[in-house]
Amino acid sequence: MNAIVEIENLTKDYDVGFWRKRKVRALDGLSLRVHKGEIFGFLGANGAGKTTTLKLLMRLIFPTSGTARILDCDIADVSMHARIGYLPENPYFYDYLTALEFLNFCGDICGIPKAERVRRARQLLTRVGLNETRWNTQLRKFSKGMLQRVGLAQALINDPEIVFLDEPMSGLDPIGRREVRDLIAALRQEGKTVFMCSHILSDIEVLCDRVAILKNGRLAQVGALAELRQQSQGQNLIEVVVSATDAAGLQRHLLEPDKFTLNSTPAGLRIEVAEEKDVDIVIAALRKTGGKLVSVQPVRQSLEELFLEVEPANEGKRSGDLT
C-alpha cells in the first residue's frame, strides 16, 4: 500500500530548566506509516507526544534524531507544504482580519488566484458551518468554536492531499462536532488522507481506518481498530441480559453460581459469560425461574478500554526526564 507519511525512528528531546541544560524526551523512536486515502487516528493521553509529532512533521520544531517523509518528500523540503494542510492544536491567527480576509490571505500565500481563492473561502466557510453573518467579523470577536471552524477552513484552502488535524473537535458544540465529523468523512470520500489527533474516542471509533496509540512518547499500539480489539484480552466475553427475574432467584438455579457475576441494569439483569456453553447454563436457569431473555451479544471492547489497557511496546525504558 502507498505510504503517504513515513516516520522513521523520530525522537525529540526538549531542553528545559532555567539554563536549558536538562532534557525531556517527548518522543522516543517513533516509526509509523500512514497510507493514502485513510483516516488515521493518533491517540494518547495528555503529554503523550502527539502535538510534538505533528509539530515535527510540520517543521515547526526540529527532531533530535530520526527522519520523516510526507508525500515522498523529506520534511525538510518545505515546498511540499503547498500540498498539505494543518490545523494546529491552539490556532492563533492575526485577529484583526475577518474570517473571509484571513482565508483570502491563506489562499494568497498558497499562490491561489484571487477569484478562485474567494470562491474557495466562501465554500469552505459554509462547509465548516460558520454562519454567513460572521464571515465579515474580525477573528478577535470569535468564540473558541468559531475560531476552530476557521482553522479547519484554512487547513483545506489549498485543497491538500493530506491534512493534519490536531484536536479538530476541540471547543466545538455537539452540532459542530457532528458537522466536523461529517466533513472529515467527506474528505475520505474525496480521496484525501487525514491524520488526526483526538481525545474524543467515539469520534475516532466511527471515523478512523487505523489508529496509533502513543504512551509516554512511545508507540504502544498501531493497527485497524478491529485488529487491536482482537489482539487485546477479553474480546470473547458474551453479555446476556434477562428480565422478569431477580438475581437471587436466577443464582439459585445456576450450575456453579460463583462463575457468574450478575448486575442489575435498567434493561434487566446483566450477566457476562466467558464461553458459549455458559450462555446455555444461564438460559436453562432462566427457564426454571420463568424469566425472559432480553439479549445475548458479544461484548465489543470499546476504544476507551483499549486506550486504558495499552502499555508501551518496550516497558524497560520509559521516555521522560533524561537527567
Ligand X SMILES: Nc1ncnc2c1ncn2[C@@H]1O[C@H](COP(=O)(O)OP(=O)(O)OP(=O)(O)O)[C@@H](O)[C@H]1O
Q: Interface with ligand X by CB under 6 A: which residues?
A: 14, 16, 24, 26, 44, 46-52, 89
Residue 7, binding choice from ligand X, Mg ion, none, Cβ under 5 to 8 Å by partner class:
none
Q: Is 304 helix (H, G, I), strand (E, B) or coil?
A: helix
51 binds Mg ion, rule: CB under 5 A: yes
Torsion of CA 64, 47, 37, 65, to 10 degrees: 10
Q: Name which of 16 and 97 has its Cβ closer to ligand X.
A: 16
CB of 202 to ligand X, least distance (A): 17
Total interface residues for Mg ion by CB under 5 A = 3
CB-nearer residue toward ligand X: 51 or 301: 51
Toward Mg ion, which CB reaches closer, 214 or 269? 214
Q: How many other C-beta atoms lie within 10 A of the C-beta of residue 95? A: 13
Which residue, among 45, 46, 9, 5, has the nearest Cα to 27 in the 3D structure? 9
Backbone Cα Rg of the chain: 25
H-type helices in the chain, by residue range?
50-57, 99-109, 114-127, 144-156, 174-189, 201-207, 225-231, 247-253, 276-289, 303-309
Segment contacting Mg ion by CB under 5 A, of 37-45, 83-91, 111-119, 232-240: 83-91
- Supply the minimum distance, in Å, between the C-beta of residue 291 and ligand X: 46
Instruction: Please give the grid coordinates belonging to residue 42.
Output: 493518533
Cα 2 from Cα 275, distance rounded (Å): 40
Extract the C-alpha cell encoding 16: 528545559
55 or 120, CB closer to ligand X? 55
x/- map, 90-109, Mg ion, by CB under 5 A? --------------------
**Least CB distance from residue 46 to ligand X, whole Å?**
3
**Least CB distance from residue 128 to ligand X, whole Å?**
22
> Binding residues for Mg ion, per CB under 5 A?
50-51, 89
